């Protein structure tokens, strides 16, 4: 592969990873926003026996935010590894780095989605029951 093409390929990989990181941060921000909005709502002030369910739902969203952030951090560190590939123009290694991160951490990422959906479902159920 020509040198210029290798550089462009690695730079493209870097930009893709950066876009992925932005999307993950949106998930973290969403979870934290829902938690803060719920805490400021009157739902917590109402004594309808829902407090434990609300607390559990909020805890699930905080857990999801933590899991998403953990994956974000791994991708952030992978960005440095991919950038190092620019020095050697090692496109094969640059291509493998995001795959390796996904393979190693996909369980936590998928768990974050599941936990997020469970937390939201629980909060919505509490809101509807109010």
Ordered by start, the domain boundaries in the chain are 3-129
* Integer Cα distance of 117 and 59 in angstroms: 12
- Nearest residue to 58 (alpha-carbon basis) of 72, 44, 71: 44
> Residue 13: exposed, middle, or buried by beta-carbon count in 10 A (0-12, 13-18, 19+)?
buried
Residue 106: its pLDDT value, please? 96
Structure tokens that stand for 17 in this block: 């990873």
Confidence of residue 116 (pLDDT cuts 50, 70, 90): very high
pTM (2 decimals)? 0.83
Q: Residue with structure tokens 């791994």?
A: 74
Chain-centre distance for alpha carbon 99: 16
Q: What is the mean pLDDT of the chain?
A: 89
Decide if pLDDT at 37 tops 60: yes
């Amino acid at each position: 592969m020509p040198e210029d093409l290798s550089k462009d390929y690695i730079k493209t990989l870097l930009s893709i990873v950066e876009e992925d990181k932005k999307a993950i941060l949106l998930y973290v921000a969403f979870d934290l926003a829902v938690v803060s909005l719920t805490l400021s709502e009157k739902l917590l002030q109402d004594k309808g026996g829902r407090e434990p369910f609300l607390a559990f739902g909020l805890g699930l969203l905080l857990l999801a935010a933590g899991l998403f952030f953990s994956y974000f951090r791994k991708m952030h560190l992978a960005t440095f590894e991919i950038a190092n590939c620019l020095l050697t123009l090692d496109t094969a290694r640059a291509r493998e780095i995001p795959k390796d991160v996904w393979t190693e951490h996909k369980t936590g990422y998928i768990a974050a989605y599941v936990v997020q959906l469970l937390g939201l479902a629980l909060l919505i159920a509490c809101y509807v029951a109010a």
